[in-house]
Amino acid sequence: MIPLLVQLGIFVAAIGLPAQADQADPAAAMPERKFYERLSDAAAKLGIALFVFTPAQFEERTGKLSGYRYSGKRWRTEPCALPDMVYDRSYCVSIEEQMACRSTLSAIRKLKRYITLNGSLPSKWEVYSYLRQDAALARSLPLTQPVVELEQLLPQLKVKSGGLFLKPAAGMQGKGALHIRLHPLTGQWLAVGRTKRNLPIKRAFDDWPALAQWGERFIGPTAYISQPYLELRGRDGKAFDVRALVQKDETGQWALTGTAVRVGSGGSLTSNLHGGGSASDAAEYLADAFGEQMAKRMLNEIERLSLHAAPKLEERFGRLAELGFDFGIEPAGRIWLLEVNSRPGRASLRLLGDKEAERLSIERPLQYARLLSRRLYPTLITNASAISRTYEQHKRLRTDNVQEVHP
């Protein structure tokens, strides 16, 4: 048995109270529970003590932290040492949650300078603005602009027959996405998409002022971006995209872990699984739609773009351990890089039953965490030193590799 040397805290925004029937299970309402259970089992084999914690479990006045640990197929809450590393999996649904998460991590850092395993990306607009400066990526990025007010979009909507696609600059899971266009026959303005609660919505308006008034209420104070609407549907008419999961491997190099096609439900604007979509094998789906040779070229291009963009993003925004890249493909075969997610899920790989990709998706963040611990705390750690939680910083720590030096 490998001694547990590194304390890895998985940080989540909140864990709800268990229902009455689940009082004996403190983690009944934990998000991504199965994922964390598999992470916990794999972590123990690598000498990593893993726990899950939220802002509510840190007491700033005393500096004490409690968390959820998984062992013997059970979750337990117990006191935890301040983490050596933080794996941030927080999905904030409100400004209050966002502020609580930032405040908690800042307070912990004042007490212990932990390592951030996987940082965050800023808004979609900032990511787009940075990536478009790279010639190898620019032609694969849809023209994107921030939405200040809907009125600015009217000139484009009048000349773009397909309309415009609007989405929150910091959104996820397809929530709040909206396709706006002018119907060429009826002259009505149409708005189709998903509400911020991820429910389908479809509206028709007789004139632009009516749509603009409704749209301003729909968007509210949320920052939005707009893109030309792209026809990204399969032969069955359903929206689809390709998710590529890239992660650091055990050597700290970026590698493709797996790809999957996500297919939206009938009539859905987006292909997100949270909106009722399903997962398909990428090679099979693309071969059926475009032919086997074209499918191979597409997947090679998707891998090339992903592995080119990952270190670029890390160079600009700080250490990252994994990224989810979402690609759209037009009927003629043109590939578009639609989004990059620094908190990628594993649902599509799990639903596919791709056991090897699913295993790698679990193990690679842990292997990278172990690599970081060896590079940043390279002195030999005995069982006694593991208990005392003291480490010596190596005087010759590498500073020439941006991937390994961000706190």
Q: Which residues are CB-contacts of 275 (< 8 A; sequence separation ≥ 6)?
A: 173, 174, 194, 198, 200, 264, 265, 268
Q: Model confidence at 407, in pLDDT bands (50, 70, 90)?
A: very low
pLDDT of residue 313 exceeding 60: yes
Question: Among the listed ranges 131-145, 176-190, 227-241, which one has the minimum average pLDDT value?
Answer: 227-241
The secondary structure of 104-157 as a DSSP string is HHHHHHHH---EEEE-----HHHHHHHHTTSHHHHTTSPP-EEES-GGGGHHHH
Question: Residue 130's pLDDT is what?
Answer: 98
User: 145 in the Ramachandran plot: left (φ > 0), alpha (ψ -120 to 50) or beta?
Assistant: beta
- From residue 220, give the alpha-carbon distance in Å to each of 125, 127, 176, 224, 268: 18, 23, 11, 10, 23
**HEC sequence for 27-89:** CCCCCCHHHHHHHHHHHHHCCEEEEEECHHHEECCCCEEEEEEEECCEEEEEEECCCCEEEEC
Question: Residue 93's pLDDT is what?
Answer: 82
Q: Phi/psi at 336 (nearest 5 deg)?
A: -120, 135
- From residue 297, give the alpha-carbon distance in Å to each of 107, 246, 259, 278, 335: 48, 18, 14, 24, 11
What tens digit of pLDDT does each residue of 365-383 get? 999 999 998 876 665 343 3
Average pLDDT of the chain to the nearest whole number: 87
User: To which H or E segment does residue 313 belong?
Assistant: helix 292-317
pLDDT of residue 392 exceeding 50: no
- Do 336 and 347 touch, CB atoms closer than 8 A? no
Tokens of 288: 């059926």
How far is 348 from 302, CA to CA, in rounded Å?
Answer: 17
pTM above 0.85, yes or no: yes
Question: Among the listed ranges 8-12, 59-63, 171-175, 284-288, which one has the minimum average pLDDT value?
Answer: 171-175
User: To which H or E segment does residue 304 belong?
Assistant: helix 292-317
In terms of Cβ atoms closer than 10 Å to its own Cβ (0-12, 13-18, 19+), residue 405 is: middle
pLDDT of residue 274 exceeding 60: no
- Do 390 and 82 touch, CB atoms closer than 8 A? no
Gyration radius of the chain's alpha carbons? 23
pLDDT of residue 68 exceeding 80: yes
Residues facing residue 48 across a β-bridge: 6
Residue that the structure tokens 């706190």 belong to: 407
